[in-house]
Structure 1
Amino acid sequence: MTNTWTDIANANLILVMGGNAAEAHPCGFKWVTEAKAHNKARLIVVDPRFTRTASVADYYAPIRTGSDIAFMGGLINYLLTQD
């Protein structure tokens, strides 16, 4: 997670990709749960493994190992074409 805790607490959409923030950063992950509770933020987890972070996600995308770049390319393409 590369954002500041304040950004995460005020977010309405949080994307966690290839990491298990709930176990690796439990103190920081509390801001994700706060955003879900107070801002009705959506949590999207993209990871081949079903982790503790994925267990609280609104959307879980179990991509295949090694397909991260293709997934991100598709996401960027969608964002650019769906202004």
Structure 2
Amino acid sequence: MGTSFGRGGATTAQQDLANADAILIMGSSMAENHPVGFQWVIEAREKNGATIIHVDPRFNRTSAMSDYWLPLRAGSDIVFLGALINYTISNDRYFRDYVVPYTNAA
């Protein structure tokens, strides 16, 4: 979005967050910078018992409202994401019926 329009933006409806059972927020303080969108995160917790995970080296309001705060060292986020991908694939924790036909995972 930033390359095309000069400013980044979400490509999904934030209202859909209310249907999640786990939400990973990385590298931003959504509670402070996107308070309207963050209401859907809180609704997911209240409605679905969603787990909120915040990955950011700084402790902020989003961290305080999360179930887990992961204070990664700056620059280590790619290693963290690689570990998540490795765990997901190694333990068959993904929706194969979607991933194989609709991505390049085949």
Flag whether TM exceeds 0.5 (same fold).
yes
Deviations 1:58-81 (A, max 9, x none): 111110011010110111101110
Q: Which residue does 1:64 correspond to in 2?
A: 73
Per chain length, whose mean CA-contact separation is higher, i.e. which structure has more relative contact order (CA < 8 Å, sep 6+)? 1
Q: Which residue does 2:96 correspond to in 1?
A: none
**What is the identity percentage for the equivalent residue pairs of Structure 1 and Structure 2?**
52
- SS of match in other structure, 2:66: coil
Q: Following TM superposition, where does structure 1 have runs of at least 4 consecutive aligned residues deviating by more than 6 angstroms? A: none
Q: CA RMSD in A?
A: 1.3
Unaligned runs of 5+ in 1: none
Unaligned runs of 5+ in 2: 1-8, 93-106
- Aligned-partner residue type, residue 6 of structure 1: Q
Please, what TM-score do these two structures have when normalized by structure 1? Answer: 0.94
Higher deviation after alignment, 2-11 or 41-50: 2-11
Please, what TM-score do these two structures have when normalized by structure 2? Answer: 0.74
Aligned partner of 1:16 among 25, 28, 34: 25
Q: Displacement, 1:13?
A: 0.4
Aligned partner of 2:37 among 20, 28, 34: 28
Q: Which residue does 1:74 correspond to in 2?
A: 83
Deviations 1:9-33 (A, max 9, x none): 1100000000100000001100100
Larger Rg, first or second structure (1 or 2) = 2
Q: Which residue does 2:48 correspond to in 1?
A: 39
